Chains A and B, each alone.
Chain A
Amino acid sequence: MTCAIRAEELRKTFRVRETASGLGGTLRSLLRPRYREVHALAGVSFALEPGEMVGFIGPNGAGKSTTIKILSGILVPDGGTCTVGGLVPWERRVEHVARLGVVFGQRTQLWWDLPVTESFDLLADIYRLDRARAARRRQELVGRLDLGPLLDVPVRQLSLGQRMRCELAAALLHEPGLLFLDEPTIGLDAPAKLAIREFLRSLNREQGVTVILTTHDLDDVEALCRRLVVIHHGRLLFDGDLDGLRARVTSERRLTVDLDGDLDPARLPGVTVVAREGRRLVLAFDPATVSAPELIARLAALAPVRDLTVEAPPIEEIVAGFYRGLDP
């Protein structure tokens, strides 16, 4: 069975030139440059099956973008191997990128001064697309991403959200089986984010496109990806689903309760108060010490309850907790 992507022990080190401060420092570093080694990737391995949608998360400088750039054939790793659909990206770059769509949230693939439609025409030529088929595909993307009114607008006049939709279409014109997204929702407002998420979900489900997504927006990951990969300091620290990550960090649950009377939380063992706001209490508890039904029963015995919800802590807190656990 073919793996969509197999990466083994990928390593990449950058040499960063260090410049001392002041004129003297500048002169000294001109004569004897000093370099600091930054291990962007220190041995990262993973495998992806066709049709998966995986979120790569990690703090800034963790190595997410470096990984994507290696998988895209832009960077050559210093060590390790990787194949994408059977090809080594940097060895067969042209063949490889012909089957790949990439969207960088901070960099445009479109021609800044040209209307969107002309950028699409050029891409059709660059990818050597069959005319009729390209026209059909383009129509489909224009419909699904609602690009009709944007086609004649020069790219530089588009809003960020509009541009992002055009970038997505541009990356998909050649019907790639694989899509890499590097922070695709960065800087977008809520409706634009939702529209893009919805589009990505249907692309993955209906057309089986394999998607890797790097993001800081954990809502993206929660909404789209069953599987998530955490990269930190150039290492892969977690690979699994959100529940698995949650279990790694904490088994804690949150109980939010609105009361019709007063309650001294000290009378509830195994519980800590996270927030208290008028009659609303947010309590944290560990289901291993006290189960949710048990806790609710005790609570109801102490004070009249108007409303209550039990949930896991939000994903931001889990991930932040995970990073905290890593940095001593």
Chain B
Amino acid sequence: MDPARGTDRHDGGSGPWPPPMAGRNDGSAPRQGAFHLYWRLVAISIRAQAQYPGSLLLLSAGHLVVTLLEFLGVWALFDRFRLVRGWSLAEVALFYGLVNLSFALAEAVGRGFDAFDRLVRTGEFDVVLLRPRSEVLLICGQELRLSRAGRFAQGLIILGWGMSSLGLAGRPEVWMRLAWAVAGGTALFCGLFVLQATIAFWTVNSLEVVNTVTYGGVETAQFPIDIYPSAVRAFFTWVVPLASLNYLPLRGLLRGGDPGWVGWAAPLAGFLFLAVSLRLWRFGVRHYTSTGS
């Protein structure tokens, strides 16, 4: 008998080879769906962060304080000039809050993509590709950054203050509108992280260019975009549609003039941006070159 061969597999039995996975649960029970897996993976990251609760708390609190202090600068500006291009401080607070909520959520959820160059450099992405699940799901599941609760809280505080100053806080329809805008904004920033990760397939150091757009974009979009020169406005409307996450949804609400659907439709641009980024990402995966053995 041939010692290095199997006993029964190679005598031309019919059917596919290797046989379909034996232990597979074909009913695709709900416990193994994508969301279930996401939470299982994220729970690991949360447990790891909770091992040092003090550090997590300090980090979040620090984040909150620093970002609130940033807003102090805006307040000082408005204290001096009262209005900027006709926008009041309370109005700007809405813009400011929406961007920070979106960015905080994206940084918490999209951390895996934000830090993706590390996975490429260490070759850990190989292991991701060996698992029979969507690589996007597996990368998102790597980490949920809880410390971004700090920026999130800041966004919420400032948004809440702006809403109540403008007498909008009691209108659920407005809250829904804004929640939808935050969802679109989160998708948009996640799209930027995905783009940044895609670049890592070609240059091992994730390009700072994207970082400039991301962080520069956050700073820029904290104000209504119509205060900027037209080139900046065009870039953040048509290329990286940051205008869709606060300017377009808020303009109709605060100034009137736009038909109602504009505010509702604008955040879709964020999802579209994410979808395009993911397409580019898939293209990048095919150019992944791994690292030496």
The residue in chain B whose Cβ has the minimal distance to the Cβ of A53 is B4
Residues of A within 8 A of B258 (CB): none
User: What is the distance, in angstroms, from A39's C-beta to the closest C-beta of chain B?
Assistant: 13
Given A52-B5, A65-B293, A85-B17, A174 and B23 touching (CB < 8 A)?
Answer: yes
Interchain CB contact under 8 A, A85 and B21: no
Across the interface, do B22 and A74 meet the contact criterion of CB distance under 8 Å? no
- Chain B residues with CB under 8 Å of A53's CB are 4-5
Chain B nearest CB from A229 CB (Å) reads: 13
Question: Is B130's CB under 8 angstroms from A109's CB?
Answer: yes
Q: Is the CB of B18 within 8 A of A52?
A: no
Q: Which of A75, A128, A206 has the most CB of B within 10 A?
A: A128
- A113-B48, A226-B3 given as contacts; is B21 within 8 A of A175 (CB)? yes
Taking a contact as CB atoms under 8 Å apart, the answer to whether A107 and B289 are in contact is no
* Contact pattern, B 20-52, Cβ under 8 Å of A = 1, otherwise 0: 111111001001100011001100100010000
Residues of B within 8 A of A224 (CB): 4
Central interface residue in B123, B292, B293, by most chain A CB within 10 Å = B293
Residues of A within 8 A of B21 (CB): 98-99, 127, 174-176
Q: Which residues of A contact B3 (CB under 8 A)?
A: 205, 226
Partner of A51, one of B5, B41, B44: B5
Interface residues of A in 94-108 (CB under 8 A from B): 94-95, 97-100, 102, 104, 106-108
A155 to chain B, nearest CB (A): 12
Docked-complex contact B24 and A94, CB < 8 angstroms: no
Contact B130 A174 (CB under 8 A): no
> What residues on B are CB-neighbors of A207 within 8 Å?
6
For A103, the closest partner residue in chain B by CB is B130
Min CB distance B4 to A, Å, is: 4
Can you name the residue of chain B whose Cβ is closest to the Cβ of A209? B6
Q: How far is the CA of A74 from the CA of B127 in the complex (A)?
A: 9
Chain A residue numbers with a CB within 8 Å of B19 are 99, 177
Stretch among A129-137, A265-273, A297-305 lining the B interface: A129-137
A76 in contact (CB, < 8 A): yes
Are B289 and A128 closer than 8 Å at their CB atoms? no
Distance A73 CA – B133 CA, assembled complex (angstroms): 13
Contact check, B132 vs A126: say whether CB atoms are below 8 A apart.
yes
Given contacts A73-B129, A74-B126, A204-B4, contact A210 B25 (CB under 8 A): no
Q: How far is the CA of A128 from the CA of B133 in the complex (A)?
A: 10
Query: CA separation between A205 and B41, bound complex, in Å?
Result: 36
A114 part of interface (Cβ distance < 8 Å): yes
**Min C-beta distance of B49 to chain A, whole Å:** 11
For B28, the chain A residues whose CB sits under 8 A away are 128
Q: Which residue of B lies closest to A138 (CB)?
A: B23
Contacts of A175 in B (CB 8 A): 21-23
B107-130, CB < 8 A from A: 123-124, 126-127, 129-130
Interface range, B side: 35 or more
Whole-angstrom CA separation of A90 from B130 in the bound complex: 11
Judge whether A130 and B23 touch: CB under 8 Å.
yes
A52 nearest CB neighbor, chain B only = B5
B288: chain A residues at CB < 8 Å are 74-76
Majority SS at the chain A contact face:
loop
Give every chain A residue within 8 A of B20 (Cβ-Cβ). Answer: 99
Give the contacts of A289-311 with B (CB-CB under 8 A): none
Question: Does B256 interact with chain A (Cβ within 8 Å)?
Answer: no
Given the known A-B contacts A74-B129, A177-B18, are A125 and B7 also in contact in the complex, defined by CB atoms under 8 Å?
Answer: no
Tell me whether A85 and B44 are in contact (CB under 8 A). no
Supposing A50-B6, A50-B10, A114-B44 touch, asked if A98 and B293 sit within 8 A by C-beta, the answer is: no
- The reply to whether the CB of A7 lies closer than 8 angstroms to some CB of chain B is no
Contact indicator A107/B2 (Cβ below 8 Å):
no
**Within residues 275 to 293 of chain B, which ones have a CB less than 8 A from any CB in chain A?**
286-290, 292-293
Q: A95-B132, A97-B132 are in contact. Are A107 and B5 (CB under 8 A)?
A: no
One digit per residue, 1 when the CB lies within 8 angstroms of any chain B CB and 0 when it does not, for chain A 36-75 equals 0000000000000111110000001100110001001111
Q: How far is the CA of A52 from the CA of B24 in the complex (A)?
A: 24
Give min CB distance, B115 to chain A, whole Å: 16
Is B85 located at the chain interface by the 8 A CB criterion?
no
Supposing A65-B292, A111-B44, A130-B25 touch, asked if A226 and B123 sit within 8 A by C-beta, the answer is: no
Question: Would A107 and B123 be within 8 Å (CB), given that A85-B16, A94-B133 are in contact?
Answer: yes
A178 to B21, CA, bound (A): 11
The reply to whether B4 and A227 contact each other, CB–CB distance below 8 Å, is: yes
Which residues of A sit under 8 angstroms from B8, Cβ to Cβ? 51, 208
Hey, which bits of chain A sit against chain B, CB under 8 A? 1-2, 4, 14, 49-53, 60-61, 64-65, 69, 72-76, 85-86, 90, 93-95, 97-100, 102, 104, 106-109, 111, 113-114, 122, 125-131, 133-134, 137, 173-178, 182-183, 204-210, 224-227
**Contacts A51-B8, A224-B4 known; 7 new A-B pairs at CB < 8 A:** A69-B290, A75-B290, A94-B134, A133-B23, A174-B22, A175-B23, A225-B4
Residues in chain B within 8 A of chain A (CB atoms): 2-10, 12, 16-25, 28, 31-32, 36-37, 40-41, 44, 48, 123-124, 126-127, 129-134, 286-290, 292-293
Pairs of residues from A and B, 3 with the lowest C-beta to C-beta distance, nearest first: A51-B6, A177-B18, A208-B6
18 contacts between A and B (CB under 8 A): A50-B9, A50-B17, A51-B6, A52-B10, A65-B293, A72-B129, A75-B289, A86-B16, A98-B21, A99-B18, A100-B18, A102-B130, A109-B130, A129-B24, A129-B25, A133-B23, A204-B4, A210-B9
